[in-house]
Amino acid sequence: MKKKKNSLYPPDWIKMARKDWQRLNIMLREGDAEGAGYFLQQSLEKYLKAFLLQQGWALKKIHNLYTLLEDAVKYQPVLESFRELCEHVSGYYLTERYPELTPSELTCEDIKKDLKEAEKFIRMLFPEE
Protein backbone atom coordinates (compact mmCIF):
# COMPACT_ATOMS: atom_id res chain seq x y z
CA MET A 1 0.00 0.00 0.00
CA LYS A 2 1.31 3.40 -0.98
CA LYS A 3 1.91 5.76 1.95
CA LYS A 4 -0.18 8.93 1.73
CA LYS A 5 1.37 12.32 2.37
CA ASN A 6 -0.38 15.05 4.34
CA SER A 7 -1.43 18.17 2.49
CA LEU A 8 0.64 21.31 2.89
CA TYR A 9 -2.29 23.44 1.68
CA PRO A 10 -3.77 25.44 4.60
CA PRO A 11 -7.39 25.39 3.30
CA ASP A 12 -7.31 21.57 3.45
CA TRP A 13 -6.40 21.77 7.13
CA ILE A 14 -9.12 24.35 7.80
CA LYS A 15 -11.67 22.11 6.12
CA MET A 16 -10.71 19.22 8.41
CA ALA A 17 -10.68 21.52 11.46
CA ARG A 18 -14.27 22.56 10.68
CA LYS A 19 -15.26 18.92 10.31
CA ASP A 20 -13.77 18.11 13.72
CA TRP A 21 -15.61 21.13 15.18
CA GLN A 22 -18.88 19.70 13.84
CA ARG A 23 -18.02 16.34 15.37
CA LEU A 24 -17.36 17.87 18.77
CA ASN A 25 -20.83 19.43 18.71
CA ILE A 26 -22.36 16.06 17.84
CA MET A 27 -20.50 14.51 20.78
CA LEU A 28 -21.77 17.27 23.09
CA ARG A 29 -25.35 16.63 21.98
CA GLU A 30 -24.83 12.94 22.71
CA GLY A 31 -23.41 13.70 26.16
CA ASP A 32 -19.96 12.28 25.31
CA ALA A 33 -17.58 14.70 27.05
CA GLU A 34 -14.43 12.70 26.28
CA GLY A 35 -15.34 12.45 22.59
CA ALA A 36 -16.18 16.16 22.43
CA GLY A 37 -12.88 17.01 24.14
CA TYR A 38 -10.97 14.85 21.69
CA PHE A 39 -12.53 16.57 18.68
CA LEU A 40 -11.96 20.00 20.25
CA GLN A 41 -8.27 19.14 20.54
CA GLN A 42 -8.22 17.82 16.98
CA SER A 43 -9.94 20.92 15.62
CA LEU A 44 -7.54 23.32 17.35
CA GLU A 45 -4.57 21.24 16.24
CA LYS A 46 -5.64 21.50 12.61
CA TYR A 47 -6.38 25.22 12.84
CA LEU A 48 -2.93 25.77 14.33
CA LYS A 49 -1.27 23.70 11.62
CA ALA A 50 -3.17 25.63 8.92
CA PHE A 51 -2.00 28.91 10.45
CA LEU A 52 1.58 27.69 10.67
CA LEU A 53 1.58 26.35 7.11
CA GLN A 54 0.47 29.79 5.91
CA GLN A 55 3.60 31.18 7.54
CA GLY A 56 5.86 28.75 5.66
CA TRP A 57 6.26 26.34 8.60
CA ALA A 58 7.46 22.82 7.82
CA LEU A 59 4.69 20.37 8.72
CA LYS A 60 5.42 18.28 11.81
CA LYS A 61 3.53 15.17 12.89
CA ILE A 62 2.77 16.27 16.44
CA HIS A 63 -0.47 16.58 18.39
CA ASN A 64 0.58 18.73 21.33
CA LEU A 65 -1.14 22.11 21.13
CA TYR A 66 1.40 23.62 23.50
CA THR A 67 4.25 22.79 21.12
CA LEU A 68 2.32 24.04 18.10
CA LEU A 69 1.51 27.25 19.96
CA GLU A 70 5.22 27.74 20.68
CA ASP A 71 5.81 27.89 16.93
CA ALA A 72 2.72 30.04 16.25
CA VAL A 73 3.74 32.66 18.82
CA LYS A 74 6.91 33.28 16.79
CA TYR A 75 4.69 34.61 13.98
CA GLN A 76 1.94 36.22 16.06
CA PRO A 77 3.03 36.94 19.67
CA VAL A 78 -0.51 37.84 20.81
CA LEU A 79 -1.37 34.12 20.60
CA GLU A 80 0.57 33.69 23.84
CA SER A 81 -2.64 34.64 25.67
CA PHE A 82 -4.09 31.25 24.64
CA ARG A 83 -1.35 29.16 26.25
CA GLU A 84 -3.57 28.00 29.13
CA LEU A 85 -6.29 26.90 26.70
CA CYS A 86 -3.78 24.94 24.60
CA GLU A 87 -2.25 23.25 27.62
CA HIS A 88 -5.68 22.36 28.98
CA VAL A 89 -7.16 21.07 25.71
CA SER A 90 -4.04 19.05 24.84
CA GLY A 91 -4.96 16.80 27.74
CA TYR A 92 -8.25 15.91 26.07
CA TYR A 93 -6.35 14.05 23.36
CA LEU A 94 -4.84 11.74 25.94
CA THR A 95 -8.10 11.28 27.87
CA GLU A 96 -9.83 9.84 24.82
CA ARG A 97 -6.92 7.93 23.30
CA TYR A 98 -5.38 6.12 26.25
CA PRO A 99 -6.88 4.14 29.13
CA GLU A 100 -6.65 5.70 32.54
CA LEU A 101 -6.52 4.03 35.91
CA THR A 102 -9.36 6.23 37.17
CA PRO A 103 -12.47 7.32 35.27
CA SER A 104 -12.38 10.75 33.63
CA GLU A 105 -14.18 13.49 35.50
CA LEU A 106 -14.56 15.56 32.34
CA THR A 107 -18.07 16.89 31.75
CA CYS A 108 -19.84 18.40 28.78
CA GLU A 109 -20.07 21.63 30.79
CA ASP A 110 -16.25 21.69 30.98
CA ILE A 111 -16.06 21.42 27.20
CA LYS A 112 -18.70 24.11 26.69
CA LYS A 113 -16.66 26.51 28.83
CA ASP A 114 -13.58 25.80 26.72
CA LEU A 115 -15.52 26.40 23.50
CA LYS A 116 -15.88 30.12 24.20
CA GLU A 117 -12.13 30.57 24.56
CA ALA A 118 -11.48 28.24 21.62
CA GLU A 119 -13.72 30.34 19.38
CA LYS A 120 -11.71 33.46 20.29
CA PHE A 121 -8.50 31.57 19.55
CA ILE A 122 -9.72 30.43 16.15
CA ARG A 123 -10.81 33.97 15.26
CA MET A 124 -7.36 35.21 16.25
CA LEU A 125 -5.78 32.67 13.89
CA PHE A 126 -8.35 33.18 11.12
CA PRO A 127 -10.49 36.33 11.52
CA GLU A 128 -12.77 35.21 8.67
CA GLU A 129 -13.76 32.03 10.54
Give 49-59 pLDDT, tens digit per residue.
Answer: 999 999 999 98
Reduced to 3 DSSP states, what percent helix, strand and coil does the chain have, rounded to the nearest 5? Answer: 70, 0, 30
Distance CA 36, CA 55 (A): 29
pLDDT of 71 above 50? yes
- E strands of the chain, at which residues? none
Residue 2 pLDDT: 56
DSSP designation for 78? G
Residue 93 pLDDT: 75
Q: What Cα–Cα distance (Å) separates residue 79 from each residue in 48, 76, 124, 126?
A: 11, 6, 7, 12
Span 9-40, pLDDT tens digits: 899 999 999 999 999 999 999 999 999 999 99
Name the CATH architecture for the domain at 10-125: Up-down Bundle (1.20)
pTM of the model: 0.90
DSSP designation for 101? S
Averaged confidence pLDDT in the chain: 89
